Amino acid sequence: MYSFKNDYSEGAHPKILEALIQENLIQNDGYGLDPHSLHAAELIRQEIGRDDADIHFIVGGTQTNLIAIATALRPWQAVISTDKGHINVHETGAIEATGHKVLAMPVKDGKLTPADILKALDHHTDEHMVQPKMVYISNSTEIGTQYTKAELEALHHICRQKDLYLFLDGARMGSALTSPVNDLTLKDIAQLTDVFYIGGTKNGALYGEALIINHPDLKPDFRFMIKQRGAMLAKGWTLGIQFEELFQNNLYYDLAAHANEMSALLKKGIQSCGYSFFSDSSTNQLFPILPDAVIAKLKKDFLFSIQERFDDSHTVIRLVTSWATREDACKEFIKSLESCK
C-alpha cells in the first residue's frame, strides 16, 4: 500500500545520506560545535541574507517550538496562535508544559491576521489575564495554505507596533516557498520575523530543523535552553551535514518543488473528478472532500489520514506528498479515484 499519510515516511534524500556516510568515521566535536554545523549555519546566513542571525540545529519540530517560545516569554506571557496551530492542537500541550498559555484565535483558512492579533490584545488588558507577547504562525499552514508577502508584512508591522515577537514555524516552509502562488523568499522571511525555522525532517533530511534567531533579545544563552530541554544532540554534526547538503546546489528547493509537483498532479486529478477541497492549498498537503464510499475504496490501496467529517456522507481526508513521492503512485491514486465514480 502506498502511503500519502505524511512527508516523513521515508529516510533521507540519497545526497544527504551519502554525506552522512562519508563523514561516518571521522571524529567530530559533539553538541553542534563542529565545522559542519558552523558551515551549515554560514550557508543559511547567506541564503537568508542576515549575517547577524544566530542559528541552531535541533532534531524535531515540537522541541524547536517549545524551546523558542519558552525562551522568548516571561512566566506570565502568552503566545497567540490560530486555533489550528500545531502548538495548539498537535503537540500534547508542549507549550503549556513550559508554563505558557496559547491564545487560540479561531480562523477558517489556517492563517492569522492583524485583526486576530488586535482582538487577542483587546481581551488581555491587565494583570488578571495573561500578557500576549509572541505571535506564532506556520508557513505553509497546518491546512496547506500559505502567507503572501503582503500578509506577512502586515503581521510584521502589527507585531512591531504592539511589541510582540513574531515566530514562524517553517516545518513545511520549503513547500510554501516553491509553490506556484508563492511571492516570499527566505530573505523576506528573515526580515519580517523575529525567529523562524527551516524544516529539514519534512523535506528530505533524516531529522533536523534549523532555528534562525533574528531578534537580539532571543539570542543570549540559547544553548542552555537547548540542552535543558534535552534537544542538544550528542552527534550534532549529523545535523550540520544534512543542512550543508540542503543548502548547497539548491537541494532544499528542489526537494520541496518535487513534493509540490506531485501534489499538483493529485490536485488536478481530484478536481477533474469533480471534487472540491476543504482548504485552498498549493503546497504538499491537500484536503479533498470525498464521499465516504469513495474513501472506503481508496483505503484498500492507499494510506492517508482522515481530517474531519464534512457532512453526513462526506469526509475530508489529508493527502501529503514529499521529496520521495513517486509520480506513478500519484497517477495510480487518481486512476483509483476515477474508477470510483
Query: What is the footprint of a second copy within residues 278-297 (CB under 8 A)?
Result: none
DSSP secondary structure code for residue 56 in this structure = E
323 conformational bin, left if phi > 0, alpha if psi -120 to 50, beta if neither: alpha
By beta-carbon proximity to a second copy, the closer residue of 48 and 231 is 231
Contact between 112 and 81 (Cβ < 8 Å): yes
Cell (9 digits) for 26: 571521522
Q: How many CA atoms lie within 13 A of 258 on its CB side?
A: 16
For residue 160, the minimal CB distance to a second copy (Å) is: 19
Stretch binding a second copy (CB under 8 A), from 127-135, 154-162, 184-192, 284-292:
127-135
By beta-carbon proximity to a second copy, the closer residue of 101 and 318 is 101
Q: Nearest-CA neighbor of 184 among 214, 218, 219, 154?
A: 154
By beta-carbon proximity to a second copy, the closer residue of 62 and 285 is 62
Site membership for a second copy, residue 247 (CB under 8 A): no
Q: Nearest-CA neighbor of 21 among 33, 31, 13?
A: 13
Contact between 176 and 146 (Cβ < 8 Å): yes
Choose, by CB under 8 A, the member of 40, 43, 53, 71 that binds a second copy.
Answer: 71
Stretch binding a second copy (CB under 8 A), from 4-12, 152-160, 274-282, 285-293:
4-12
Query: What is the footprint of a second copy within residues 176-215 (CB under 8 A)?
Result: 201-202, 206-207
Site membership for a second copy, residue 249 (CB under 8 A): no
Q: Nearest-CA neighbor of 235 among 64, 31, 55?
A: 31
Choose, by CB under 8 A, the member of 44, 48, 53, 66 that binds a second copy.
Answer: 66
Q: Nearest-CA neighbor of 235 among 23, 16, 9, 15?
A: 23
By beta-carbon proximity to a second copy, the closer residue of 151 and 169 is 169
By beta-carbon proximity to a second copy, the closer residue of 11 and 35 is 11
Choose, by CB under 8 A, the member of 15, 39, 42, 96 that binds a second copy.
Answer: 96
Q: What is the helix, strand, coil percentage profile of the chain, to 5? A: 40, 20, 40
Please state the φ and ψ torsions of residue 297, each to the nearest 5 degrees.
-70, -45
Site membership for a second copy, residue 75 (CB under 8 A): yes
Site membership for a second copy, residue 153 (CB under 8 A): no
By beta-carbon proximity to a second copy, the closer residue of 136 and 147 is 136
Site membership for a second copy, residue 87 (CB under 8 A): no
Site membership for a second copy, residue 92 (CB under 8 A): yes
Site membership for a second copy, residue 311 (CB under 8 A): no
For residue 119, the minimal CB distance to a second copy (Å) is: 13
What distance in Å separates the CA atoms of residue 47 and residue 251, rounded to the nearest whole number? 13
Query: What is the footprint of a second copy within residues 222-241 (CB under 8 A)?
Result: 223-235, 238
DSSP secondary structure code for residue 277 in this structure = B
For residue 11, the minimal CB distance to a second copy (Å) is: 4
Sign of CA dihedral 188, 191, 192, 198: positive
Query: What is the footprint of a second copy within residues 25-44 (CB under 8 A)?
Result: 25-30
